[in-house]
Amino acid sequence: MKTMKNWLLTGLLFMIVSTAFSQGKITGMITDGNGSLPGANVVIKGSTTATSTDFDGKFTLNATTSTGEIVISFLGYQNQTVKFSVSNGSTANLGEIVLVSNSNELTEIVVKSTVIDIAKDRKTPVAVSTIKAAEIQEKLGTQEFPEILRNTPSVYVTKSGGGFGDSRINIRGFNQNNIAVMINGMPVNDMENGSVYWSNWAGLSDVASAVQVQRGLGASKLVSPSVGGTINILTRAADRKEGGSFSSGFGNGRNFKIQGSYSTGKLANGLSASVLLSQTMGDGYINGTQFEGTNYYVALGYGNKSGTHDFQFTVTGAPQWHNQRSTVSTIATYQKYGSIDTPNIRYNADAGYLNGETYNIRKNYYHKPVASFNWDYKINETTKLSSVVYASMGRGAGASAAGGIRGKVYSDLTAFRTADGLVDYDLIQAYNSGKPVYINGFTGLQTRAKVGGVYQNTFSSGSNAATGASTGVTGISQTSSINSHDWFGAVVNLNKKLSSTLTLD
């Protein structure tokens, strides 16, 4: 019996060793000719064996056959197939594999206006990546607009606190204040600090015909904060192909989106129109970050038969509201409401309940419609004049908390927390109303005192010098920082071809 067991173990070991030596490794590095492409997909053709490149663009695959092909794909680049041959137990290094861009030429997008600063492959000395509408619709799904740029070289995208529209983008290490964002040639960065609030542009993914990222100082002719790069967004034109569409999508966190659009195409009289309407809503991945947003887009166009004049009038906007996660928590806090090995990364220190419903004192609500009128005039074969006049009227606010109770703010780690870490907004409301309540960390019932016969809230959090005292005068309020602005502007550009090699722009 013992001899049989030894034979079985020996046979099993032989099979494992044989299997191991029947496999080989395939390595290589994926680049675009200028730098590595982290996150590129590498798969052995005809199998499920796949991997992604690391930060340096390198990859390693375990092959079960001695010969075959690998297929490399990356957003914005042509797929490439490379043959390999590997001996049993050895490693085949395919070296550097250079992918070729498939979208920088904007072959399916007609850019009529010279106001829109689009870089052309092999003609403009700028590092660029261009994403077309088909790729946006295919890969974005119910995600937010900035996330389509996640796999773009030198671009870092994060959800920040996790609230709807609270994403931020870094290009080559520079934050959004140093990145110019343009929509059809119009700058949308905040005029005071250069910031971009993506919640105001939640509908861009629905109406964009292309997005181009220019890394580093780009081709923009406007004075804008573009030391990190430029993001050019081209919206659909009024004279796009006739037809309509209807779509809906859903995801985790009860995320739901519905959209409908229709375009007349260019009519015989030169007129055209395009409309789109969509709505999205959900609970958010982070606890207490519910959101709802609507997007509308209307475009009217006219072009004469000779092609010398083209007019485009567009209006788009995306009114929205979303709850936020603004309070920064430590890893220990996430572990406290999860476990040591599995911290609760969805925990939100701003979320809680009020009157039996979820409530968050940190909230953003805004509506920033943009209207533009583009006129492109082809004077002759070598001269073109492009103009755009635009206006934007923003209205909305960001809600936060002011004041405190006995020196404790609403986000205190213990004072107003339930057992599962939520903010007890019912307790805060009761104290604000003068009802006696128990507050964690204080002895006995706590009651609020009136000032001049009324309850008065201030920006002061009060004093907790004597934790045994039973009265205080301050309370906690929800305040809104109103941001209203009216932007108006115009850009005029003359493009004159002086010779086959020289253009005045």
Res. 221 pLDDT band, cuts 50 70 90: low
Query: In the prediction, which pLDDT does 88 show?
Result: 81
Classify each residue of 364-402 as buried b or exposed e, where b means 16 or more C-beta atoms within 10 Å of its C-beta: bbbbbbbbbebbbebeeeeebbbbbbbbbebebebbbbb
DSSP helix/strand/coil, 425: helix
Whether the pLDDT of residue 90 is over 70: the answer is: yes
Q: Which residue has the higher pLDDT, 99 or 466?
A: 99
* Cα 96–chain centre separation: 31
Does some domain include residue 70?
A: yes
Whether the pLDDT of residue 424 is over 90: the answer is: yes
Does some domain include residue 13?
A: no
Whether the pLDDT of residue 112 is over 60: the answer is: no
Q: What is the CATH number of the domain that holds 67?
A: 2.60.40.10
Query: In the prediction, which pLDDT does 76 show?
Result: 63
Res. 3 pLDDT band, cuts 50 70 90: low
Number of folded domains that form the chain: 1
Res. 138 pLDDT band, cuts 50 70 90: low
Helix and strand numbers (H, E) in the chain are 5, 32
- 215 neighbors 171 (Cβ within 8 angstroms): yes
Whether the pLDDT of residue 74 is over 70: the answer is: yes
Does some domain include residue 40?
A: yes
**Which residue type sits at 96?**
E
| Per-residue pLDDT reduced to its tens digit, 312-343 | 898 988 899 999 999 999 999 999 999 999 99
Res. 75 pLDDT band, cuts 50 70 90: low
Question: Residue 241 is encoded by which pair of tokens?
Answer: 């192909």
| Per-residue pLDDT reduced to its tens digit, 244-264 | 888 888 887 788 889 898 988
For the chain, what is the mean pLDDT? 81
Does some domain include residue 35?
A: yes
d(CA 152, CA 154): 6
DSSP 377-407: EE-SSSEEEEEEEEEEEEEEEEEEEEE-BTT
* Percent of the chain residues past pLDDT 90, beyond the cut: 27
Instruction: Count the neighbouring beta carbons within 10 Å of the beta carbon of residue 455.
Output: 16
Q: What pTM was estimated for this model as a whole?
A: 0.70
Res. 16 pLDDT band, cuts 50 70 90: very low
Question: Residue 22 is encoded by which pair of tokens?
Answer: 């029947």
Distances (CA, A) of 296 to 274, 278, 327, 368: 11, 7, 32, 12
* Average confidence (pLDDT) over 11-29: 60
d(CA 126, CA 167): 26
Whether the pLDDT of residue 307 is over 70: the answer is: yes
Does some domain include residue 30?
A: yes
d(CA 428, CA 430): 5
Question: Residue 246 is encoded by which pair of tokens?
Answer: 């209807």
Give me the residues paired with residue 190 across strands. Answer: none
Does some domain include residue 456?
A: no
Does some domain include residue 94?
A: yes
HSE toward the beta carbon, residue 302, CA cutoff 13 A: 6
Classify each residue of 74-92 as buried b or exposed e, where b means 16 or more C-beta atoms within 10 Å of its C-beta: bbbbeebebebebeeeeeb
Lowest mean pLDDT among 86-95, 369-378, 457-466: 457-466
| Per-residue pLDDT reduced to its tens digit, 171-188 | 888 888 888 888 877 778
d(CA 126, CA 486): 33
Query: In the prediction, which pLDDT does 166 show?
Result: 83
Q: Which residue has the higher pLDDT, 417 or 139?
A: 417
d(CA 412, CA 410): 6
Query: In the prediction, which pLDDT does 54 show?
Result: 80
- In this structure, what DSSP letter does residue 110 have? -
Rounded-to-10 torsion of CA 191, 194, 200, 204? 110
Domain housing 67: 20-98
* Percent of the chain residues past pLDDT 70, beyond the cut: 82
Whether the pLDDT of residue 380 is over 70: the answer is: yes
What is the widest separation between alpha-carbon atoms in the chain?
98
Lowest mean pLDDT among 113-122, 230-239, 327-336, 456-465: 113-122
Give me the residues paired with residue 297 across strands. Answer: 276, 316
* Average confidence (pLDDT) over 442-454: 87
d(CA 196, CA 190): 6
DSSP helix/strand/coil, 138: helix
Does some domain include residue 88?
A: yes
